[in-house]
Each structure stands twice: as structure tokens, then as C-alpha cells.
A and B are shown apart, each in its own frame.
Chain A
Amino acid sequence: MSFLQPLISGILTGGVYALAGIGMSLVFGVMNISNFAHGDLMMLGMYLAFFAFTLLHIDPYISLVLIIPISFLFGYMMERIFINKVIHHPHQNQILLTIGLGLIMSNTALLAFTSDPKILTTTYSSSAFTLFGDVSVSVPLLLSFLITCGITLILYLFLSKTSTGMALRATSQNREAAQLMGINVAKMSAIAFGIGTALAATAGALIAPTYYIHPLAGHTFLLKAFTICVLGGLGSVVGAGVGGIIIGVVEAMSSTYLSSDWKDVIVFLIFLAVLLLRPQGLFGKKGGQ
């Protein structure tokens, strides 16, 4: 089999992982909180896409127009009601809170949607086209990747050009100084959490046509998102983007050349190697927390 096949499918899947990682990294950067409910927020995105498709007959990619604002508001309110209460508390309190919120979400989903996996089958779910003679490219994965690129570009422009985006970056680089500029850092935290949630839900919706939709699906993705953040450097949005692609390619390569049972092993070996050799991550700052 061609070397290009796992490379290309790895990059395409990695793009969606990157989106989830970017959301987690942005929240960590602005709020210094590791959001362990991130995977469950992805799972909610998967179900939103599923029900938009089965009940409202909206294509999963088009339903993003609804999912993004809904999940942003959900995350914004979650920060206002719960997360901001622990923002100045020790990390273990924050971790317990976000794990707890995640458990409530996944168990509510179990109760409401049962543990039967659901499959979102669109007309193009299994369609693919061939590139360079023998490389097959899945249409839904390619669409997801292109949408991911578009959303990342919009996020980049938002963070670098708009006043609110710059205020988010300032809060992430020095929270106290940001306050002294007249920036309402509490509001910035809520916006960051809203964007993080929207990115997680979007990633969930984008993989919904190619994965099993299950209430506990979030756990796998939480670990992936966390690995991506650490790999790229916690708080670094660019790092999370690159980290996502790397993890996607590593997974695809190890599935092809070893076996798919080994892909998680390889991913976590890389995770451990990064922690040992470059704990600040590929794009992180030395001495950062």
C-alpha cells in the first residue's frame, strides 16, 4: 500500500482532532483551567448533528450553522454558572468540577439516548474518490477537513484582528495586566469557554458522519485533545493545530504499518516522550506552568 494513503487520511482526521485541541488549548490559555469536560462537549456536538439530521433532516455540515451558536451559548453559560466559581482555586478543584460536569453530561446522554451506538448515514458517508492512482480519499473526511481549515482561519483572524480577540490573547498572556488595560477578564473567560465549547461541539459534529455516536465517545476524544494540547504546548493555539495533525498522522501510520490495536499505544508513547524530553510542548514557552 502506498505511503501516501495513511499520510493523507491521517492529515484529514488530524484536522478535526486539531479543532478539538485548539478549543481546549484556548480555554487553558485564557483561564489556566484544564477542561476535562471537553470530550463530553464533543459528544454533545455529535448528538446535536445526529438529531439535526434525523429529526430536522439537516445535513450534518449545514447543521453547524445551528450547532456553533447553540454550543457557544451553552459554554458561555456553563462558565458563568459553574467554572468562574473555581477560577482562582487550586487545580484539583477545577479538575474535579470539570470532570463532574462531564460525568453529568455523559450520564444524562446515557439516560436519554441509551447506550446503543447511533450511526449517522448520509448519502456520501462512504463515498470516496481516488487520487494519484491508488490513494482513496473519503469525501466526508475531506469535507470535515476543509470546514476545519475554514473555522481555524476565521478563529485566527478573530484572535489577531478584532478587539475582543486581541483582548482574549492579552488575558491569556497576562491576566493581571489585562485587567489594568480595562479588559473585563471575567467576561473574556466566559467568551473563551464559549468558543472552546463551540469548537469541541463542531469537532464532534464533523466526525459524526464517520464515527459511532455514543454517550461515552467523549472519553476517547478527551484523551486525544489533552495529548494534542500537551504535545503542542498548553495554551498555544498554533501548537494545538500542529499537534492535532501529528496525532492524526501517527494514528493512521501505526494502524497501517503495525495494527490498529497499536495506534493508541504509539500516541501515548509520543505523549510520554514529549513530557520527558520537552515538557513545555513543541510550541510552548520554557518555564510556563
Chain B
Amino acid sequence: MLEIKSLNAGYGEMPVLREINLTIAQGEVVSVVGSNGAGKSTLLKAISGIIKFTGAITWKSESLHNLKAHTIVQKGIVHVPEGRKIFPEMTVVENLMMGGFLCQKERPQNLDKVFALFPKLAQRRNQLGGTMSGGEQQMLAIGRGLMGNPQLLLLDEPSLGLSPLFTEVVFGAIHTINSSGVTVLLVEQNVYQSLSISHRGYVIETGRIVLTGTGEELLNNQDVKKAFLGM
């Protein structure tokens, strides 16, 4: 569904990603794990068109090269950014409406779906986004992404800074979203949780992919255990 070949990307003169190869098949949850600064967020930004790249990113046999971020959303790739980046002075409902900016006809039914997935958002529907807790904002950010009818959902560090309770809720939601037919590319520092719910995973280190396999293979890999799981 998504195919990345020898991708190089970075900020200005500074390269971050080097020769990345990665594929995602329809219906999968794929996670990219690695430490802080390894280039995980840069990978998602390159896919969603926030930054420029060289190499090839192909989505359903169509090149995403030089496309603007807003046209990539139209093609069904929705990016939920790191740090949630919700609209602080808009209410929960307004934030969700913005998520459905390109598919306004389906807004009411998508809103029902999001509220069913995160009942807490329905209770807080008129609260300003900026006044919510980190965990609630993360639910809102994911909900806002779902309002855009994604075929592929890119999630950047959804568990960052969340309490164990909210982390459970978020990973549970990712599982539910995937079961409803949405392909998920998950970028995480929480290696154990994310590999546990993933079909396949990639380990990224200083901009290069160093290891790949199924979620279970990676969890049992000695290097992964040593580097990320403290075993």
C-alpha cells in the first residue's frame, strides 16, 4: 500500500534519514521504534509532506514526491503529529470539525464514531482544547485524525508523556481503529507496548533502519531486549 525506497530527508542542510526502505501492507499495524532523535518523526513528516525528501515514497502506485501536505491528506494519509498540536482556542467539537475539513459530508457519522471510541470527548465536547489534560488532548488528536477518513493513519508518539492508564486507553484505541480497517504506522519510544500490538516493526537508529521483523520476532530479539527493554 505504501512503499518507501532509499528515502533521504532532513532539515535544511542537515540529513536525518539515510536510505530508508519500508513497506506497509493494507490492514497492518507497523511500528517504527527507536530512541529519541533517531529520525522517527522526520520519517512521518516526509510521508505527510511537511518536509521535502529525495528517494521514492509510493502510495497505491502513485508517487508522493513534491506533493503539498494538504493534497496528501486528500489521498487518505492522515498524520497525527507529535505533541498532539491540537487547536488550543477551539472547542473539542471544533477541533474535530477541522479534522473533517476535507470530508464535510461525512462529519456527523465520523463524529459519532469518534465519540463512541473516546466517550470522554463527548462529555467534554464544548471544552477548549488548550484546557484539557495531555491524555485527553491525545484522544482529541487521534479523534481529529480519524475525522479525515484515513486509509493510513500515521501516529507520532501517541503515548508520550501519558500516564499508564491513558497509555492503555490509547493503545486499545489503536487496536480498535486497526480492526475497523484502517492501516496504522506507529512511531514510538514505548517499544514494548507498540511492538506488542504491531504486525511488523522496524528499528531505527541514527537515521537508518537496522532491524526489521514481526512484532514478536523483534520483542524476542536479544539486541532489542538489551537496547530498549532493559533485559
Interface residues of A (CB under 8 A from B): 163, 166-167, 169-170, 173-174, 176-186
Contact B74 A177 (CB under 8 A): no
Answer yes or no: B115 CB below 8 A from chain A CBs.
no
Given A166-B97, A173-B87, A174-B85, A181 contacting B104 (CB threshold 8 A):
no
**Cα distance A167–B104 in the bound complex, in angstroms:** 13
B101–A163 CB distance below 8 A: yes
A interface secondary structure, majority: helix
Closest to A169 in B: B90
Indicate if the CB atoms of B86 and A177 lie closer than 8 Å. Answer: yes
> Roughly how many angstroms separate A167 CA and B50 CA in the complex, as a whole number?
18
| Contact present for A176 and B81 (CB under 8 Å) | yes
Across the interface, do B70 and A183 meet the contact criterion of CB distance under 8 Å?
Answer: yes
B81 touching A180, Cβ below 8 Å: yes
Closest residue on chain A to residue B145 by CB atoms: A180
Task: Pick from A174, A181, A183 the residue with the most CB of B within 10 Å.
Answer: A181
A181-B50 in contact (CB<8A): no
Assess whether B148 is interfacial by the CB under 8 Å rule: yes
| Cα distance A183–B50 in the bound complex, in angstroms | 13
Residue of B nearest to A187 (CB): B70
Give chain B residues whose Cβ lies under 8 Å from the Cβ of A167. 98, 101
Is B207 interfacial (CB 8 A cutoff)? Answer: no
Fill in one digit per residue for B62-92: 1 if any A CB lies within 8 Å of its CB, else 0: 0000001110011000111100011111100
- B contact residues vs A (CB 8 Å cutoff): 48-50, 68-70, 73-74, 78-81, 85-90, 94, 97-99, 101-102, 104, 144, 148
Residue of B nearest to A180 (CB): B79
Measured CB to CB, the closest approach of chain B to A261, in angstroms, equals 41
CB distance from A169 to the nearest CB of B (A): 7
Bound Cα distance from A183 to B80, whole angstroms: 14
List the count of A-B residue pairs having beta carbons below 8 Å apart: 64
CB distance from B196 to the nearest CB of A (A): 27
For the complex formed, measure the closest distance between the CB of A280 and the CB atoms of chain B, giving whole angstroms. Answer: 14
Identify the interface centre among B79, B80, B104: most chain A CB within 10 Å of its CB.
Answer: B79
Q: Which of A163, A169, A184, A185 contacts B87 (CB 8 A)?
A: A169
Are A180 and B87 touching (Cβ within 8 A)?
Answer: no
Known contacts A182-B148, A184-B68: does B87 contact A177 (CB below 8 Å)? yes
- Give, as a whole number of angstroms, the nearest-CB distance from A233 to chain B: 12
**Contact assessment for B90 and A182 in the assembled complex, using a CB-CB cutoff below 8 Å:** no
Report which residue of A163, A169, A182, A183 has the largest number of chain B beta carbons within 10 angstroms of its beta carbon: A182
In angstroms, Cα B70 to Cα A53, docked, is 44
* Contacts A/B (CB < 8 Å), 5 sampled: A177-B87, A180-B79, A181-B99, A182-B101, A185-B70
Q: Say whether A177 contacts B81, CB under 8 Å.
A: yes
Residues from chain B with a CB closer than 8 A to the CB of A163 are 101, 104
The 10 closest A-B pairs by CB, nearest first: A182-B73, A177-B85, A179-B69, A182-B102, A173-B87, A181-B101, A184-B70, A182-B70, A170-B98, A180-B79
With A166-B94, A170-B87, A183-B101 already in contact, 15 other A-B pairs whose C-beta atoms are closer than 8 Å? A166-B97, A166-B98, A167-B101, A169-B89, A169-B90, A170-B98, A176-B50, A179-B70, A180-B81, A180-B85, A181-B98, A181-B148, A182-B101, A184-B70, A185-B70
Closest to A174 in B: B85
Partner of B48, one of A180, A184, A185: A180
User: Which residues of chain B come closer than 8 Å to A173, judged between CB atoms?
Assistant: 87-90
CB distance from B132 to the nearest CB of A (A): 14
Closest to A173 in B: B87
Residue of B nearest to A167 (CB): B101
Contact of B78 among A169, A176, A180 (CB under 8 A): A180
